[in-house]
Amino acid sequence: MARIHNKEYHANYYLANRDRIVEMQKEWRESIAGKRHKFNRLLSRVGIAAIDWAFAWVSQDAKCAGCLQPLDGGQNTHIDHCHETGRFRGLLCSSCNLALGKIGDCSETLRRLADYLEDSRG
């Protein structure tokens, strides 16, 4: 998700996917209708702009960055960020967000667990 902060990527992605982005943004706005105050408070608490959230929502096709399951834009949608830098990484479902929290955002642990799963299937 490092590409989210790249302005050139934003511009190129928008130009290539303009119609889809406009439609998804319309759906997104409708999904948070009546919840805008709560949503804006959440974004300010974690320190990201609504446009970054919306871009992640569209670029992830309203799916979790981890398991690719559909996100609802509500309580099942979590704003993932690096706990060391505070940098916004993307949107996750509750399960993936909890899993990252349980392993302490440690990529080595996640790799070992993936290897463990692959090895145990054989």
CATH number for the domain that contains residue 48? 3.40.1800
Looking at the structure of the chain, the number of domains it has is 1
Among 88, 98, 30, which Cα is nearest to 60's? 88
Asked if residue 121 belongs to a domain, the reply is no
Asked if residue 25 belongs to a domain, the reply is yes
Cβ atoms within 10 Å of 37's Cβ, excluding its own: 8
Per residue in 66-92, pLDDT tens? 999 999 877 788 989 887 887 889 999
Does 8 have pLDDT greater than 90? no
Among 71, 44, 47, which Cα is nearest to 60's? 71
Asked if residue 35 belongs to a domain, the reply is yes
Asked if residue 73 belongs to a domain, the reply is yes
Domain of 68 in residue numbering reads as 2-94
Q: What's the confidence (pLDDT) of residue 2?
A: 45
